[in-house]
Structure 1
């Protein structure tokens, strides 16, 4: 509650405490409110504000208003990150003033997480990306920031994978796997982020030809989608399963079945990027069948 606003208004009107509270409450009650933050009952507070011609609502904090526009933008960016619309997401991120988020540690971490992954997809310099994720890792670690630390480890693993340093990449992906299975999904955004981590880790293990591990992670992601009624990562997990099947030279009908499942999920989510990728995959598989 903005008690300072209350006191400033009383003093600006030239009212002593005794004058303001006359006929409403004791001076001790008003003093405890102004000096100790002990809020009187609502009826008294309304009468005091009415005498000051101060709307009671102006004393209450404006929860979420300051950064509401940034939150809405980040929600859209995170959705585009899921649906692989990376350039759209990157353009929208440039419209957010990161400096204005620094007072809200969680929003600041979210900004760096989104920025880091989008810079990966933009193939930005390695050191620039590592610096972004380092700002997450070096931030104060608590329950609310845990998921962003895991995302930062995932991003760093992706960078080292891109650079061909398998050992360093596996070090970071392993740090994620040690904790991700026990992470409590409290919000739908948490679920998206856990799925993002599982998917990228599955991609890594596929790249190093640990197909069984990759398949396990993809199936786990699909189970999370099913249990939480989330469809956005179904397509990406199914696509990765199809790629794994291709790498293992699985029977064509099994590969096509996985492609068809992934296409169905992609249509539900209107994921044009995934649909285009699946079309090329299917054509390639059918050509190899001839």
Structure 2
């Protein structure tokens, strides 16, 4: 409660505690409120504020408003990740600010996860990325069962994979895979983050040639979307499956069906980056067909 603003309003009116309390409550009651934060009854509080011409709503901190704005901004960033619009994500993320006392909150952990992933996508230095994820893992609010620790492990795995250090990458991805299949999905936000982890794990295993493991993870991502009636990551999962099937030399019809699915989902999510990739792969298939005939 913003007691300091209340006191400032009283002083601005040039009223002593006795003068303000007169006819409303005892001076002791007012003193306890101003000095110790002991809130009087709502009726008394309303009368005191009316006497000061002080909106009672100004007594209450605007944390809800601030948090809702932060959440909305981070939702945007998370969606930009889905559509691979990393410059847009960076623009939103750089505008967010946190006070020192907020840096142990869950919102700040989410900010660090988003910042770390964006640093990977923007190919920033490895040490800076790892430092960002270490801040999550060293937080008192995090243990190995929380989604943010799993996201941090995924991010570290992606970082080592980017550097072609696949042994270290596999170490972190394996820690994630042990837990992600049983992680409870209770909210839409949980679904986004689980899908993020499952999808990027699937991409990693495709990159190291473990196509069977990759296909299992990507199909699991599609199953999560289907069960929760979501399109997030459907396009990218279907596209990666198409690439996997191409590497496995699966029939063209199987690959094209997945590409068509990926294109439909990409249009729904307005993922123009992926639509261009799909177009390129379709052209490669057509070129190969022409060469074979």
Which range, TM-score by smaller chain?
A: 0.7 to 0.9
Q: Provide structure 1 residue ranges, at least 5 long, that are not aligned to the other structure.
A: none
Distance 1:104 1:252, change over 3 A: same
Equivalents in 2 of 1:267, 1:13: separation in Å? 60
> 1:87: Cα distance to partner?
2.6
Give the number of aligned pairs: 287
Residue 246 of structure 2: aligned partner: 246
Residue 208 of structure 2: aligned partner: 208
Secondary structure at the aligned position of 2:195 is classed as helix
Equivalents in 2 of 1:35, 1:270: separation in Å? 55
> 1:252: Cα distance to partner?
1.2
Residue 39 of structure 1: aligned partner: 39
> 1:260: Cα distance to partner?
1.0
The ranges of structure 1 where at least 4 consecutive aligned residues each deviate by more than 6 angstroms after the TM superposition are none
> 1:246: Cα distance to partner?
1.1
Residue 104 (structure 1) aligned with residue 106 (structure 2):
no
Residue 191 of structure 2: aligned partner: 191
Distance 1:26 1:184, change over 3 A: farther
Equivalents in 1 of 2:257, 2:82: separation in Å? 23
Residue 162 of structure 2: aligned partner: 162
Contact map agreement 2:236 2:274 (CA 8 A) in 1: yes
> 1:25: Cα distance to partner?
3.3
Residue 178 of structure 1: aligned partner: 178
Equivalents in 2 of 1:77, 1:280: separation in Å? 26
> 1:266: Cα distance to partner?
0.9
Residues 165-174 or 196-205, more deviating: 165-174
Contact map agreement 1:235 1:262 (CA 8 A) in 2: yes
Q: TM-score, normalised by structure 1?
A: 0.87
Residue 5 (structure 1) aligned with residue 5 (structure 2):
yes
After superposition, the C-alpha distances for 1:82-134 in whole angstroms (9 at most, x for unaligned) are 1011233234434x255x45432333333332222222222223222222222
Residue 86 (structure 1) aligned with residue 86 (structure 2):
yes
Residue 131 of structure 1: aligned partner: 131
RMSD: 2.6
